[in-house]
Amino acid sequence: MLEPLSLLFGLIFLETGWLLRAENKAHLSFSIGWLLFGVYWPSLVPGYLEINDYFNAVFCLLAIPFFLYISLNEIHLYSKRKRVKGMETVAFGSFIATLTYFLIEYITPLASFLKSTSAREASAFARALGVSTAVEGNFVLGAHTTFEIVLACTALQSIMIFVGFIVASQEIKRKRVIAATAMAVVIYLLNIVRNGGIIFLSESGIMDFNTAHNLLGKTASLVAMFLLALFVLSYLPSLYDSFAEFFVTLKPKKLKLVARGGGFALLPLLLSLFVSYISVDVSLILTMLSFLGVLFFRDPERSIGRGIVSPADGEVLYAFDDNGTKRIAIFMSITDVHVNRAPCSGEVLRVDKGRGTHAPAYSKNAEKNVYALIDMGRIKVKQITGIFARRIVTYVRKDEPVKKGERIGLIRFGSRVDLYAEVDGKIMVKKGDKVIAGETTLIECME
C-alpha cells in the first residue's frame, strides 16, 4: 500500500524544503510534501468510520483540497521566486509534529505504554466521579461498556501539534521551552478529564457513548485547543506573525493556469477526489498527475522588464553576437513556466512551423527539431520541441500586433526557445544564467 510511503516521502520533502529554504527550489520540495500529506490523511477515513468517528473522518477528507491548495501556493511562490518565512515555519512545524507522532505510533512498546497509562488515568478519574471501572491493558472496563483507549486518546496528536510549531518558531529558546512544557502538561491533564468524563457520562447513563465522545468530547477539545492556541500566540509573537503571514499568503486565485493546459491539471484532481475513498493508491497517482499538470501549466503574472526581455523562463544555453545578429538560446526544464512571451512590442510578420527531429533541447542538434518561428522583423522567436515536448501552441497570427511581455505561445512539457535579434545593444546575460519570461532583460537597447 502507498499510504505509509506517501506520509514518509511527504515528511522527507517537507524537511528537504526546510533545509533548502534559502533557495527558490525549496518551494517545489514543500509543494510535493504538502501534496503527499493531502493524499495520506484521507486513507484514515475508513478507520474512523468503523468507530463512528464522523468528526475526524470529515477532517481527513478535507485534507485533500486543503493541502493541495497549500501545494499550489508553493508553486506560485516558486514562480515568483518569493520567500515567505511564515510558510517555512508552518511546514517545519508540521514536519516535527507528524514525524514525532508517527515514530511513537510505530514504536509498539512506547505506544502501548502511552495507551495503557491513559487508560489507567481515565479509569481513576471516572472512579473519582463515582462510577465503577477496571483496567486491562488499554481497555477500561465499565459496568455496561468496554472503552478502548487508542493512541489518538492519549492527546499525543494535540501535544505534538503545539510542541512542533513552538519548536519551529523563531522565539528565544527559553520561551519556547516554557511554552512547550506548559502546553504538554495542560493538554495532558485536560485529556485525562476528557477521557474520564466520557466514561462517566456513558456509564452513568447521562448520554450514550457516541454523543459523549463524538459530540461533547470533540467540541470541548476544539474549544480548549482554540483557547490554548490564543495563549501560545500571545506568548510567542513571532509564531503569531508566522501564522499571519501563512494565511495572508493563502489567498484565493493566486495561481493562474493556461487556458489550453488547465485540463491536464484539473481532470486528474477531480478523479482523485472521487476515488480517494475507494483506493488511496489510485488517488495518489492521480493527485501526482494533477500536481505535474499544475507545475507545467502555471501562468503567473509578470512585471515587464526593460529592453529586449526574455521570451521564456529557463537557463541560458548560449548568448553571443553573430555578425550583428544576437543569438540567445534558453532551455526550459520541467520545473520552469512554459508560457512564452513577446520580447518586445511590434507586429507579427509571419508564423512558420516546420517538421524535424526530437533531439534533446539542450543539444546542438535541437535546431533541427520541430519548431515554430514567430517573425517580428528584427526580432524573431523560435519555439523548439525536445524529446518529450512534442506540441507547440502559438497564440499569435500574421499581421497581429503584440505588446512586450504579452503571451505568444506555449510548448507543452518543454523545452527550448531561441531569440534572434538584429538590434544594436549589449547582451546582458551569459551561459548558465537563469531568466524569467517578460522580466529579465536579455539585450539592453533603445526600444
Q: What is the per-residue pLDDT across 320-335, written as a single tens digit (0 to 9) for each?
A: 998 888 999 999 887 7
Percent of the chain exceeding pLDDT 70 equals 85
Whether 389 has a pLDDT exceeding 60, the answer reads no
Which pLDDT score is estimated for 77?
Answer: 86
* Of residues 136, 133, 135, 137, the one with CA closest to residue 114: 137
Whether 96 has a pLDDT exceeding 70, the answer reads yes
pTM of the entire structure? 0.66
d(CA 425, CA 326): 9
Whether 89 has a pLDDT exceeding 80, the answer reads yes
Structure confidence at residue 274 as a pLDDT band (50, 70, 90): low
Which pLDDT score is estimated for 329?
Answer: 92
- Distances in Å between the alpha carbon of 385 and those of 145, 338, 372? 68, 12, 9
Which pLDDT score is estimated for 447?
Answer: 59
Q: Choose the weakest-confidence range: 240-244, 280-284, 297-301, 392-396.
A: 280-284
Which pLDDT score is estimated for 211?
Answer: 86
d(CA 291, CA 250): 17
Which pLDDT score is estimated for 413?
Answer: 65
Q: Among 169, 202, 283, 415, which one carries the catalytic annotation?
A: 415
Contacts from 239-245 at CB under 8 Å and sequence distance 24+? 239/89, 239/165, 239/166, 239/169, 239/170, 239/171, 241/86, 242/85, 242/86, 242/89, 242/90, 242/169, 242/170, 243/86, 243/90, 244/86, 245/84, 245/85, 245/86, 245/87
Cβ atoms of residues 213 and 48 within 8 Å: no
Q: Mean per-residue pLDDT for 161-174?
A: 92
Which pLDDT score is estimated for 275?
Answer: 59
Q: Mean per-residue pLDDT for 161-172?
A: 91
Structure confidence at residue 441 as a pLDDT band (50, 70, 90): very high
Whether 280 has a pLDDT exceeding 70, the answer reads no
Tens of pLDDT, residue by residue over 176-196, are 999 999 999 999 999 999 999
Q: State yes or no: is 415 an active-site residue.
A: yes
Tens of pLDDT, residue by residue over 11-59, are 999 999 999 999 988 999 999 999 888 878 777 777 777 777 777 777 7
Structure confidence at residue 67 as a pLDDT band (50, 70, 90): confident
Domains of the chain are 3-295 (no CATH), 308-444 (2.70.70.10)
Tens of pLDDT, residue by residue over 413-435, are 668 899 999 888 899 999 999 99
Percent of the chain exceeding pLDDT 90 equals 36
